[in-house]
Amino acid sequence: MTVAAKVVDELVPHPVKEQLPGVDYCVNSNPSWAEAVVLGFQHYLVMLGTTVIIPTIIVPYMGGGNVEKAQVIQTLLFVSGVNTLLQTWFGTRLPVVIGGSFRFIVPSLYVAFAQRYYIYLNPYQRFIRTMRAIQGALMVASVLPMLLGFLGIWRIVVRFLSPLSAVPLVALVGLGLYEQGFPLLAECVEVGLPELIILILLSQYIPYIWSFKRPIYDRFAVLLSVGIVWAYAALLTAAGAYKNKPLNTQLSCRVDRSGLLSGSSWISFPYPIQWGQPSLHVGEVLVTLAAAFVAMVESTGAFIAASRYGSATHIPASVLSRGVGWLGFGIFLDGLFGTGSGSTVSVENVGLLALTRVGSRRVLQISAAFMLFFSVLGKFGAIIASIPLPIVGALYCVLFALMSSAGLGLLQYCNLNSFRTKFIIGFSFFMGLSVPRYFSDYVITSGHSPVHTHSVWFNKMVLVIFTSPATVAGLVAFFLDLTFARKHASTRRDSGRHWWAKFKYFDKDPRSAEFYSLPYGLSKYFPSL
């Protein structure tokens, strides 16, 4: 090749890739069984953070103690395992974990703070009554995603989604959780910061400094780094480093202050209606419906990211709709078993797909088996779940960032020299970060939402929707992309719609059947459109 040819080659833009290159195992390919088991355990370890954080926040306000918190964690873990298997078998069939959602915390606390439960002087009785109300709200709210998903209504909606409008949606699913990253890490810097540094060194630097026949440090960076820092935190605890520290510091830094080991039982089988008959209150159902809508929107963004990191083609609209339907069924199971929270796609596990470069469906199904196993054997699961939360915060800093980068990667389909593209991207990103910040700050300073009507349930519905960065950014980008210069000759290509046109319908691209067909020949009876 001549010098002139080399110069020309260097100046050629990077080509568009419909399937992400560099992934070692795609959705349908599998590592060895031994490696798959270790990777599955790593995914289980990553999803534990949210599984522990959500009950830790809501259970004390419901009137529960360490025993009830451990029971709720075990139940949430069990239902997450079931939902993950259902989603990977019959839903989108993408390598995703279906776990607890932060967006259901507001509805759960809305129930917990209801005045009618304060007549119960016994904290356990108040916990039971509150849990039953949350169960009823979740079971009714689950109807929304099930109807929109299984009836194909969501399929019609997402067919209007272009790469341009998907960029803010997918990116802010990860970026919108920034408050769960470094602020959580900083609760114990001497534990969280070493975890972050070691994780980055193992996953990013060492593979380029030393070459190995098989990827070890980058593929198992989470397990290795957590093991090292957890042992270091245990050493600090045993040495009495936090003996005279404030209580909050001890709770964040010590490895023996979670209360999960003492509160959990050796063997416990979560079962439906274990807290008693669910109760229904209209206002609580409506607030939970808003959270279910947000979970649908955010899960749609996470599904798109998982399809990229699984090196699959873009997910067809009908498959997205099918996945949302099964997500709704998962929320129904949350209510039936009593997890205290609804479900969504676990963002951190999507980021882990990118970190390990393993998008195998089998690995996530093995991870679900670990969830079921440790939810039953409570004491063993509690030992692993007692990892200090600043370590989890350090993991989030990396994994949420990788989730966000999946959205930025969709810009390859768009015309970045178009001022229309620049406005839609910039404005939707800004509003997606600014509006939720405004709502959150307003609640902190005034004690109530900016929307302050006599209907408290309506105020909470608005709060749930507009404190979700991904929902705000996605709705803004979706609306602008459909209305701004819609009939202009270059709009379709500038938005990248021509790249995703073949994936609007399942049969237009033969690769869709390879990645998204139902197992056991079920596609014959439940065809995707």
pLDDT of residue 350: 97
Say how many domains are in the chain.
Answer: 1
pLDDT tens digits, one per residue of 272-301: 999 999 999 999 999 999 999 999 999 999
- CA–CA separation, 86 vs 372, rounded Å? 13
pTM of the entire structure?
Answer: 0.94
Residue 270 lies in a domain: yes
Residue 2 lies in a domain: no
- CA–CA separation, 62 vs 124, rounded Å? 9
Please give the structure tokens belonging to residue 486: 């819609």
pLDDT tens digits, one per residue of 438-449: 999 999 888 888
Mean pLDDT check: name the lowest of 15-19, 296-300, 384-388: 384-388
Question: What are the DSSP calls for 275-296, one per residue?
Answer: T-S----HHHHHHHHHHHHHHH
Please give the structure tokens belonging to residue 193: 């910061």
- CA–CA separation, 222 vs 305, rounded Å? 20
Specify the amino acid at residue 275: W
Residue 13 lies in a domain: no
SS3 341: coil
Confidence check: pLDDT of 415 > 90: yes
Mean pLDDT of the region 182-205? 93
Full domain range(s) for residue 336: 33-510
Task: Using alpha carbons, list the distances in angstroms from residue 18 to 235, 311, 414, 509, 529.
Answer: 48, 9, 13, 12, 21
pLDDT tier, 264 (very low <50, low <70, confident <90, very high otherwise): low
Specify the amino acid at residue 423: F
Residue 369 lies in a domain: yes
State the chain's mean pLDDT as an integer: 91
Q: How many CB atoms lie within 10 A of CB 330?
A: 28
- CA–CA separation, 381 vs 383, rounded Å? 5
Residue 254 lies in a domain: yes
Residue 226 lies in a domain: yes
The enclosing H or E element of 134 equals: helix 123-141
Distance of CA 56 to the CA centre of its chain: 18
Residue 523 lies in a domain: no
Q: Are strands 98-100 and 343-345 parallel, antiparallel or unpaired?
A: antiparallel
Mean pLDDT check: name the lowest of 94-103, 212-221, 357-366: 212-221
Question: What are the DSSP calls for 431-462, one per residue?
Answer: HHHHHHHHHHHHHHHHSS-SS--S-HHHHHHH
Specify the amino acid at residue 239: A
pLDDT of residue 1: 56
pLDDT tens digits, one per residue of 19-48: 899 899 999 999 999 999 999 999 999 999
Side-chain-facing half-sphere of 408: CA atoms under 13 Å: 10
pLDDT tier, 63 (very low <50, low <70, confident <90, very high otherwise): very high
Residue 17 lies in a domain: no
Burial letters for 338-362: b for 16+ Cβ neighbours within 10 Å, e otherwise? bbbbbbbbbbbbbbbbbbbbbbbbb
Residues 322, 148: contact at Cβ < 8 Å? no
